[in-house]
Amino acid sequence: MRKPIIVGNWKMNKTIAATKAFVEAVDPEVTDKADWGIATPYLALQTAKAGAKNLIVAAENVHFKDSGAYTGEVSVEMLKEIGVEWVILGHSERRQYFGETDETVNAKMLQVLKNDMTPIVCVGETLEQYEAGTTKDVVKTQVVAAYKDVCPKCASRSVIAYEPVWAIGTGKTATNEIAQDVCGYIRSVVAELYGQEVADQVRIQYGGSVKPEGLKALLEQPDIDGALVGGASLVEDSYKAMIAALD
Ligand SMILES: O=C(CO)COP(=O)(O)O
């Protein structure tokens, strides 16, 4: 059985003080019904780690090189120094606004896995691609590229987040049927790459306007093992409502 994993992606939100208050309020409420986490901006990671006994604390990005002349970037070693072992890779906002490509996502996957960290690698189609009916081609290309040269053992402990770009921050959620259809397809792509045993271990999240009231039904889908949650993960009460929804 795959344990559900729900991670809040805070994006460019919350100060250090707000992070401290959130973790103090939410961390004690965390149950073992799922792995629960938050991905925070770099500056707040240390504060989040200091307060979190139960929550996974993830970074929202990392560089693929060990160190060097990469102004503004953060390395795996820096994250590991403060105890951060999880990282979101290839979020559509990074692909859209910051020049992230399938190649850089792959380089980051290799760097993160080589250093025993866990990636949450994001894939998903744009509205245009959705309307053109190319969703599965797009996510297959992204998954195959992200996992290039990744060994089966590493692949089995990674997490994939399917996030249709047209559902992010728009209030438009994919129906559970659409989300299941694509997440099931992603699992079949992993099976093609690594065999069924690895595919059965990889956890696949859905992301895009997930709200506490929809979470339980979403997780009842056979190939959806969790959620990557933006807006609804920012407010303490809303995060607590997600925890309560699975109790
Ligand atoms: O991008 C997302 C999570 O990574 C989804 O954001 P929303 O839940 O705000 O739509």
CA nearest neighbour of 80 among 117, 120, 135:
117
Closest ligand 1 atom to residue 231 Cα is 9
Ligand 1 atom 6, closest CA: 230
Tell me the C-alpha distance between 102 and 90, whole Å.
8
Tens of pLDDT, residues 104-163: 999 999 999 999 999 999 999 999 999 999 999 999 999 999 999 999 999 999 999 999
CA nearest neighbour of 247 among 27, 31, 7:
31
Tens of pLDDT, residues 47-79: 999 999 999 999 999 999 999 999 999 999 999
Q: Domains in the chain, please, with CATH? A: 5-245 (3.20.20.70)
Phi, psi of 222 (to 5 degrees): -60, -30
10 Å Cβ neighbour count for 43? 11
Tell me the C-alpha distance between 177 and 65, whole Å.
39
Tens of pLDDT, residues 90-101: 999 999 999 999
Which residues, 6 or more positions from 72, have their beta carbon under 8 angstroms from its beta carbon? none
> pTM of the prediction?
0.98
Closest ligand 1 atom to residue 122 Cα is 4
Residue 169 known to bind ligand: yes
